[in-house]
Amino acid sequence: MLNKSSRIFAQINFVRDIAILCSAMYVLSILVDFPKVTGVRSILSIFSPSPRALYQLGMSGSIALKEGRWWTVVTANYLHSGLLHIVFNLYWLIRIGPWVMELFGAARFWIIYTLAGVCGSLVSVLAGTPLFIGASGAIFGLFGALIYYGRYRGGTFGSNIFRHVSILALVGLLFGFTLSGVDNWGHLGGFAGGLVVAFFVGYEEQNKQGFAHNIIALFVLVFVIECFGGMLIQYFS
């Protein structure tokens, strides 16, 4: 059973599949309320889905949680406010995601990415952010995991990872504070979540991906499916 579950998660390319799901949700958010899609009025609003479509598909925030829309702590991580937003996030996912997959293993990548995204959502809600979307909280969780790896792995390779990723994360955080409408609480929460989750699950050189990691990853997968199920039930009701 251990070998079978390990093979299943080892064959899943989570970076590719998350990118596909984010892209599919972006296209769907455009189609749901197509007449209200924003055209090319500014570089930040190119092909922006309507707020109504985003809310129907799982936008999160303090407003959504007060209304009992618990599933949005996950679904919001797969929604984006415009073409530039999704391109920017998918660029970082595709750039650093494979590093985390290789250093932590596929199951642990999935655990870190998802739980960091949830942490980012919860911190943002606690900070009072009314509405938010985007994969950046989960992506900052990947930064946090890599920084943990570099710090505790040490050596030339670990130190290089630590320095390089620390600079990228710092630039990303500073960039977020220079723009309006950026969910910086989500970034900070996701970063902290990735750091903490990485500490608990460990990386490949510490301990090989095993049965416990695959079971946790399976529970996380079920939780994500339930969240999307909650969104679909609400949407069609």
Each as own residue / partner, the long-range contacts of residues 124-130 (CB below 8 Å, 24 or more positions apart, any chain) are 124/60, 124/61, 124/183, 124/185, 124/186, 124/189, 125/60, 125/61, 125/62, 125/65, 125/73, 126/185, 127/185, 128/62, 129/61, 129/62, 129/183, 129/185, 129/186, 130/61, 130/62, 130/63
What is the model's pLDDT at position 209?
A: 86
Instruction: Copy the structure tokens of residue 99.
Output: 């590093």
Structural domains of the chain in order of their starting residue, each with its CATH number: 2-236 (1.20.1540.10)
Q: CB-based contacts of 228: which residues, under 8 Å, 6+ apart?
A: 58, 71, 74, 75
CB 220 within 8 A of CB 73: no
Q: What is the mean pLDDT of residues 78-107?
A: 95
Ranges 66-75, 114-123, 177-186: which has the least confidence? 177-186
Query: What whole-number distance in Å separates Cα of residue 166 and Cα of residue 155?
Result: 16
What is the model's pLDDT at position 177?
A: 85
Q: What is the mean pLDDT of residues 75-86?
A: 94
CB 172 within 8 A of CB 150: no
User: pLDDT > 70: what percent of the chain?
Assistant: 92
What is the model's pLDDT at position 2?
A: 46
Phi/psi for 12 (5° steps) reads: -90, 125
Tell which residue, 65, 58, 195, has the closest CA to residue 122: 65
Is residue 50 classed exposed, middle or buried when 0-12, 13-18 and 19+ CB atoms within 10 A define those classes?
A: middle
Q: What is the mean pLDDT of residues 178-198?
A: 93
Q: What is the mean pLDDT of residues 201-213?
A: 91
Q: At what angle do helices 106-126 and 14-32 cross, to 10 degrees?
A: 40
- Residue 8 pLDDT > 90: no
Q: How confident is the model at residue 35 (pLDDT cuts 50, 70, 90)?
A: confident
pLDDT in tens, 13-25: 999 999 999 999 9
Helix (H) or strand (E) holding 63: helix 62-66
pTM: 0.93
